[in-house]
Structures are given as C-alpha cells and as structure tokens.
C-alpha cells in the first residue's frame, strides 16, 4: 500500500477545522451504503410537490476542507481513486479524513453540496440547483437495513424510502424506454453504467442509490453543458460496428448468456473516458454525463466540485483552463487503465493457481458446483489440457448439467490424449440431437470469441427441401443436412460440423465439387418428417403455473416483454392429427423451433407453445457467469 507523503500537521489541521454553518442551508438526508462502507460520500432526501417530486442528493463538500494545490490534493491526483481490496482499501484521502471528517456519518454535522432536482410526473428533469448546504445525517442505512425498513411500516423512514423506491423505478423505466442499457438487467445479465457485467443487485435499496446517483450525475452534466462550462465529462462511445441502442438491447436479450454478452459488448463498446469536451454517454443514452457524487473516492468528482462551486455558487472563473483539464483527464484515463490491467492480471493469476490446485487433486473435481466447474473448465486451458476434467465432464454430460459455453470448451479445446475427446463424443452428439439449438449456440460462442462468422452453403433438393453445409474456420462437412424446414436444416448442419470437429473429419469447402453436390441433393437423404414427432413427457418443474394453464398467451406476453416478434405457427395435417410447428424469430432468423401433435389445431398449438416456453427459458435466461 502506497504511503502518504503528507505532513502530519496538514492532516491534523483539517481534523480540527471547525464546521461553522454560516450561510449554508440546513438540509435533511440519510445515507444508504454497503455494510462495510466507511467513506460515505452521498445522502438522499425526497419531497413530493403538486407536479412531481424534488429529489435532493447531498454530497460531501470535500473541496471546502481540502485546500487547493495542497499536498492532500496532489496525492489525490496521483492516486486518482480509492482502491478496494478484500482486506481493506487504499484510500484517495487518508483514513482519518475519508472515514471521519469528510464522511457523512450519522448524527455528525457535515458541510455538503446539494444537487436539488425537480422532476415532473414523467420523471423529466424540469429544474436543477446547486447549493452550499449543511447536513446532519438522520440515519446511516446499510442495504440490508434499508430493505428491512422498506417492508416495515412501523419504521420512521418507511414512507420516505417507499417513495424513493417508487421514483427509482420510474427513473429506471424512463432510461430503459429511451434505449439505455447501462445500469440495468437484460435477460438475466446485469450491466453497470458503462455496459460491463456485474453481480445482480440483491437489494431494492441498491436500485434507489443507483438511479439517484445516475440522475444526479446526469443533471449536473446537463447544467454544466447549459453554461458551456468545461468540466471532466464522462464520455462513453460505441465502436463503428455496434448497432443502435434498441437493437443492441434486443440482441443482448436474445443472447442472454454472460459469456456471449461480454464478448459482444467488448467488440461494440469503447472504454469510457474523461474529457472537458462533451461527447455523450452511449450506454446510458444521454447527451452529457459526468461524475460528481463521490468526491471522497474519485478525483474526477473532486475536481468537478471545485469547478462547479467556483462558477455556479461562487460566481467566479473556473480554477482550471481547458488545457489543464485535458492534461488531468489524460492522466486519470491512463491511471485507470493501468489499474484495470493490473487488477485483471492479479485476478487471473489467482484463478489459475486455484485451477492448478484443483487439477492436481482429482477427488475435488466432482464436488465442484456447476458454476465452479464452468470456471475451472475455462481456466484449465491456461494451465493444462482438458484431459483431467474429461471423466467428470462426461458424467455431467449424462446428467445434462453442462452449459453451452462448457460444451464449446469441450469441442474446441486441446487434449493431451486425443482419445479423451472421443470419450465424450457420443454423449455430446446425443445431447445435441436432443436439443438441436445447442449446436447453433456452441458455434455462436465460437464465432463471437473468435471474432468471425459462421457461413453456410445453401441448396434446395428436387422435392423442395433445404440442404445446408456449415462452413466455419474454413472447414465444412462431407455431406449436407437436409430437412423440410430451413432452421431445422441449419441446426442439424451445425451438429454435423461439430461432429466433424470431434472426429477430425472436416475438410476444405473447395473440395466439394458440383457433381458431389448434385449427388447429395438427388439422394434425398432420409430425414425427420412431421410424422416422426415424439411426444415425450415434458419437464414442467420450472414452468410457471400461468404458462401451463395458458401457454399460447404466456408465450406471446413473454416475447413482448423481451421485445421479440410474436411466434409463427405452421400447421400440417397427418392422418387424423394436426402437426404444429412453433417458431420464435429474432430479426430475420428463427431462434427457437418446436413441434407437437394434437387432435385439433389448438391442441397442437398449445403443446408447441409450451415446448417453446421451456426452450426459451433454457436459451435466454441461462446463467454462465465467470
């Protein structure tokens, strides 16, 4: 931990500094933080009015205590931000200040800067004020105690917290409706304000803090932009290949799986950076954004306080020129990138050591949870081949507990002994036969990780059926997949490709000549027909009761919520029964396809819809976090 090169006398002087109220406006507020937080930057208050609400976010007035150009400030600029570890933290300001004199502790008078934001009934910002205030926090909540209060009407702040929760939900809905995907949960995957994957919040009060902080930072950035005031804006942009935000959300919802979401976002999004120029924030879908709510923990917020207080409260000039701000922004951006790289390397090394230890003790492997096994499967590629995991992988294949990303590693990883790949081949192919979309998902993961595409050679047989050869990594199969339905032919073609990969029998697409193609198409390979639909008992243990009672309506409602198209139903009469094919589409492709037989059209449609609901849950809500 880097020592502080600050005279003890400078810290002692600040600790003894009396906090006189002067002309500061007294305000009400309370804090909500994690149970381990000691540096409390922000407090909240909310007041309804006739046209909406007034939300006040009170921020510790750090710059009123820390002298400009002092050694404390210089050290903060060098450190850039507080760094947190499992055993403690390395604070931007010394512990004596960050956890005491600067922190908004309960029942302790503190100088604050208040952002007072007036919203209308639709949560639009109508007015923003920046004020010098004086706060004595009336309550220090943890997320746990705040949630407890939210469910206990006997608590003094119950109504206030419930009102905060209501408006936090309004703010979240408004952001998502305008196309924001930052600071939200999509298809079971939670993203931070810059589109990076994070743990899903456990508490309702976390959403209150997240939404109110985003609101405050957005309001301050908008205020600065209105005054054409250079501050350290937080800009976030997309790469040239990224879709527009609403299509991006639809794509992420469809992918659902964290591994795929992470890979897509890494290719679509640029890192967020600080700059005195306003560019906008892509993930939050706002024209201007900044960081203002954490001056104890982030030097960018601290500097923004200096600028905005000087200009908007003190009616003075900004203490920093644009050139100086550019230099500071560049320093912060470089320092944050350096810390990020060191942190990633540290955690990677920790995981690899753990993986090596587990691989050296085989009896530990069967005790791993599904999540732990997925992580070990991935990390083992960095320290060894997959051979030691094959016996357990085969058992989990039999139990059908492996995720698509696990199957990807089993197919594409290297083996010390090639025979070990053969040990899992038959069971893996059986799994893909049972769930045809898995083959497509595996190749989706492979193409996303490899930043490439899956291509197809597509033909039509003499009787009008579809024939597909999958082309991936410059290789294809000897024979095509043939089926009456295009999507079914694609899924089966992808399965054939994976089989060729496992058997080392793929070859160059140029090796297929036109004569071979015509022979394949004339053969009319035996295919699955509607009459081959098997009606095995469905596993309804994870299906909601309302879905079982009315599958068709439930499927339509679910697809609307996920912003997918309504299902397409295709019918075919077979003897005295009706065969129904239910297709769930995304963009111009078929995502899920199920089949069912019924005595009537409606019965077939109902069963096919129920199968689609089960498949949709497996395909979209699947959780395979690192």
Q: What pLDDT was estimated at residue 519?
A: 58
pLDDT higher than threshold 80 for residue 352: no
Q: What would the two tokens of residue 591 be?
A: 């995502």
Q: What is the rounded distance in angstroms from the CA atom of residue 98 to the CA atom of residue 433? A: 59
- pLDDT score at 425: 86
Q: Which residue has the tokens 């579809």?
A: 466
Backbone angles phi, psi at 514, to 5 degrees: -60, -35
Per-residue pLDDT tens for 475-519? Answer: 999 888 888 778 888 888 999 999 999 888 898 888 776 555 665
Of 85-94, 140-149, 367-376, 411-420, which has the strongest mean pLDDT? Answer: 140-149
The region, left, alpha or beta by phi > 0 then psi within -120 to 50, assigned to residue 285 is left
What separation in angstroms does the CA of 485 have from each of 431, 466, 489?
21, 7, 6
Domains of the chain plus CATH, in order, are: 8-320 (no CATH), 436-528 (3.30.160), 534-620 (3.30.160.20)
Taking the C-alpha atoms of residue 543 and residue 549, their distance in angstroms, rounded to an integer, is: 10
Query: 64 falls in which pLDDT band (50, 70, 90)?
Result: very high
Sheet strands (E) in 402-546: 455-460, 466-471, 481-483
- The predicted-structure confidence for 186-218, as pLDDT tens digits, reads as follows 867 889 999 888 888 889 999 999 999 999 999
Mean pLDDT score, 288-303: 97
Looking at residue 110, its pLDDT comes to: 95
Residue 523 confidence (pLDDT) above 60: no
Q: How many CB atoms lie within 10 A of CB 260?
A: 24
CA pair distance 348, 352, nearest whole angstrom: 6
DSSP E strands: which ranges in 255-336?
273-275
Estimate to the nearest angstrom the gap between the alpha carbon of 559 and the chain centroid: 20
Cβ neighbors of 206 (< 8 A, separation 6 or more) are 143
pLDDT score recorded for residue 466: 86
Give the C-alpha separation, 424 to 404, whole Å.
15
Yes or no: say if 308 and 229 are a contact pair by the CB < 8 Å rule.
yes
DSSP 67-119: PTT-HHHHHHHHH-B-EEETTEEE-SS-HHIIIIITS--BT-EEEEEEEEEEE
In this predicted structure, the answer to whether residue 308 has a pLDDT above a threshold of 70 is yes
Following DSSP, what letter does each residue of 365-426 receive, concatenated?
GGG--HHHHHHHHHHHHHHS-SGGGHHHHHHHHHHT---HHHHHHHHHS--SSHHHHHHHHH
Q: What is the DSSP pairing of strand 31-33 with strand 184-186?
A: unpaired
Strands 140-142, 31-33: pairing is parallel
The Cα–Cα gap between 589 and 595 comes to 17
Does the predicted model carry a pTM greater than 0.85?
Answer: no
Reported confidence tier of residue 588, pLDDT bands at 50, 70, 90: low
Rg of the chain, C-alpha, whole Å: 29
Burial class (CB in 10 A: 0-12, 13-18, 19+), 206: middle
Residue whose structure tokens are 């964290």: 258
- State both tokens at 145: 């105690």
d(CA 503, CA 425): 8
pLDDT in tens, 129-188: 999 999 999 999 999 999 999 999 999 999 999 999 999 999 999 998 888 999 988 867
Distance, first Cα to last Cα, the chain: 28
The residue-averaged pLDDT of 252-257 equals 70
Using a CB cutoff of 8 Å and minimum separation of 24, what contacts does 458-466 make?
459/517, 459/521, 460/521, 461/521, 461/522, 461/524, 462/521, 462/522, 462/524, 463/524, 465/489, 465/524, 465/527
Please say whether the dihedral angle defined by the alpha carbons of residues 247, 250, 255 and 258, taken in this order, is positive or negative. positive
Query: In terms of Cα–Cα distance, which of 302, 286, 272 is closest to 92?
Result: 302
Distances (CA, A) of 507 to 146, 204, 289, 317, 412: 61, 54, 52, 70, 16
**Pairwise CA distance, residues 601 & 598, whole Å:** 7
Which of 543, 458, 473 minimizes the C-alpha distance to 507?
473
């Amino acid at each position: 931990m880097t020592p502080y090169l600050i005279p003890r006398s400078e810290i002692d002087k600040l600790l003894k500094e009396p906090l006189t109220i002067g002309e500061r406006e007294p305000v009400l507020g309370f804090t909500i933080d994690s149970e381990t937080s000691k540096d409390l930057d922000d407090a909240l208050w909310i007041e309804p009015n006739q046209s909406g609400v007034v939300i006040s976010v009170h921020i510790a007035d750090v710059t009123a205590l820390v002298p400009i150009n002092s050694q404390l400030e210089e050290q903060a600029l060098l450190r850039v931000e507080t760094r947190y570890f499992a055993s403690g933290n390395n604070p931007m300001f010394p512990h004596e200040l960050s956890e005491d004199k600067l922190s908004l502790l309960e029942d302790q008078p503190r100088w604050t800067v208040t952002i007072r934001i007036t919203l209308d009934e639709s949560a639009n910002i109508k007015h923003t004020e920046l004020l010098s205030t004086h706060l004595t926090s009336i309550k220090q909540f943890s997320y746990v105690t705040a949630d407890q209060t939210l469910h206990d009407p006997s608590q003094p702040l119950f109504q206030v917290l419930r009102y905060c929760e209501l408006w936090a939900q309004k703010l979240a809905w408004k952001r998502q409706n305008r196309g924001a995907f930052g600071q939200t949960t999509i298809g079971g995957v939670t993203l931070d304000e810059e589109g990076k994957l994070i743990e899903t919040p456990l508490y309702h009060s976390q959403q209150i803090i997240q939404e109110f902080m985003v609101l405050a930072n957005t309001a301050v950035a908008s205020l600065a932009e209105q005054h054409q005031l250079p501050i350290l804006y937080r800009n976030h942009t997309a790469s040239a290949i990224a879709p527009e935000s609403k299509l991006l959300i639809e794509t992420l919802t469809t992918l659902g799986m964290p591994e795929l979401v992470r890979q897509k976002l890494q290719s679509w999004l640029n890192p967020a950076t600080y700059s005195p120029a306003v560019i906008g924030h892509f993930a939050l879908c706002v024209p201007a954004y900044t960081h203002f709510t954490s001056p104890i923990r982030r030097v960018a917020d601290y500097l923004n306080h200096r600028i905005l207080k000087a200009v908007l409260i003190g009616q003075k000039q900004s203490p920093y020129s644009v050139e100086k701000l550019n230099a500071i922004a560049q320093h912060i951006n470089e320092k944050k990138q350096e810390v990020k790289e060191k942190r990633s390397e540290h955690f990677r090394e920790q995981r690899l050591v753990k993986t090596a230890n587990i691989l050296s003790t085989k009896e530990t492997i069967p005790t791993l949870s599904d999540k732990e096994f997925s992580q070990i499967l991935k990390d083992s590629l960095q320290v060894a081949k997959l051979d030691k995991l094959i016996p357990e992988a085969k058992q989990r294949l039999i139990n059908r507990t492996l995720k698509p990303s696990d199957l990807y590693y089993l197919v594409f990883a290297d083996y010390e002994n090639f025979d070990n790949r053969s040990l899992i081949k038959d069971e893996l192919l059986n799994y893909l036969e049972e769930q045809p979309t898995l083959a497509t998902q595996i190749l989706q993961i492979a193409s996303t990780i490899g930043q490439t595409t899956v291509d197809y050679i597509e033909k039509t047989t003499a009787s009008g059926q579809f024939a597909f050869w999958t082309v991936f990594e410059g290789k294809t199969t000897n024979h095509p997949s043939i089926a009456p339905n295009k999507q079914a032919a694609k899924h089966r073609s992808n399965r054939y490709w994976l089989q060729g990969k496992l058997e080392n029998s793929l070859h160059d697409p140029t090796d297929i000549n036109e004569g071979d193609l015509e022979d394949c198409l004339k053969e009319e390979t035996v295919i699955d027909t509607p009459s081959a639909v098997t009606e095995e008992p469905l596993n309804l243990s994870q299906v909601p009761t309302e879905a079982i009672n009315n599958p068709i309506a439930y499927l339509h409602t679910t697809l609307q919520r996920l912003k997918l198209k309504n299902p397409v139903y295709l019918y075919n009469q077979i003897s005295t029964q009706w065969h129904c094919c239910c297709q769930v589409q995304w963009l111009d492709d078929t995502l899920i396809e199920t089949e069912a037989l019924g005595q009537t059209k409606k019965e077939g449609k109902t069963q096919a819809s129920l199968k689609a609901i089960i498949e949709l849950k497996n395909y979209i809500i699947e959780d395979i976090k690192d």
